[in-house]
Chain A
Amino acid sequence: EDQVTQSPEALRLQEGESSSLNCSYTVSGLRGLFWYRQDPGKGPEFLFTLYSAGEEKEKERLKATLTKKESFLHITAPKPEDSATYLCAVQFSGGYNKLIFGAGTRLAVHP
Chain B
Amino acid sequence: GAGVSQSPSNKVTEKGKDVELRCDPISGHTALYWYRQSLGQGLEFLIYFQGNSAPDKSGLPSDRFSAERTGGSVSTLTIQRTQQEDSAVYLCASSFLNQPQHFGDGTRLSIL
Q: Does A pair with B?
A: yes
Query: Which residues of chain A have a CB within 8 Å of any CB of chain B?
Result: 4, 34, 36, 41-46, 49, 87, 89, 91, 96-104
Q: Which residue of B lies closest to A47 (CB)?
A: B100
Q: Are B95 and A43 in contact (CB under 8 A)?
A: no
Any chain A CB within 8 A of the CB of B65?
A: no
CA distance A46 to B45 in the complex (A): 17
Q: Are B31 and A97 in contact (CB under 8 A)?
A: yes
Q: Would A87 and B100 be within 8 Å (CB), given that A43-B91, A96-B56 are in contact?
A: no
User: How far apart are B65's CB and chain A's nearest CB, in angstroms?
Assistant: 15
Query: Which residues of chain B have a CB within 8 Å of any CB of chain A?
Result: 4, 31, 33, 35, 40-45, 48, 50, 56, 58-59, 91, 93, 95, 98, 100-106
User: How far apart are B106's CB and chain A's nearest CB, in angstroms?
Assistant: 6
Q: Would A87 and B59 be within 8 Å (CB), given that A41-B105, A49-B100, A97-B50 are in contact?
A: no
Q: Are A89 and B105 in contact (CB under 8 A)?
A: no
Q: Are B45 and A43 in contact (CB under 8 A)?
A: no
CA distance A61 to B48 in the complex (A): 33
CA distance A34 to B105 in the complex (A): 18
Q: Are A43 and B48 in contact (CB under 8 A)?
A: no
Supply 4 further A-B pairs (C-beta < 8 A) apart from A97-B95, A97-B98, A103-B41. A43-B91, A43-B104, A99-B101, A101-B42
User: How far apart are B110's CB and chain A's nearest CB, in angstroms?
Assistant: 14
CA distance A22 to B95 in the complex (A): 26
Could you say which residues of chain A place their CB within 8 Å of the CB of B93? 43
CA distance A37 to B50 in the complex (A): 25
CA distance A46 to B40 in the complex (A): 20
Quick one: which of A46, A87, A98 contacts B42, CB cutoff 8 A? A87
CA distance A60 to B45 in the complex (A): 30
6 contacts between A and B (CB under 8 A): A36-B103, A43-B93, A43-B104, A43-B106, A46-B102, A97-B31
Could you say which residues of chain A place their CB within 8 Å of the CB of B103? 36, 43-45
CA distance A36 to B100 in the complex (A): 10
Could you say which residues of chain B place their CB within 8 Å of the CB of A49? 100
Quick one: which of B33, B102, B105 contacts A98, CB cutoff 8 A? B33
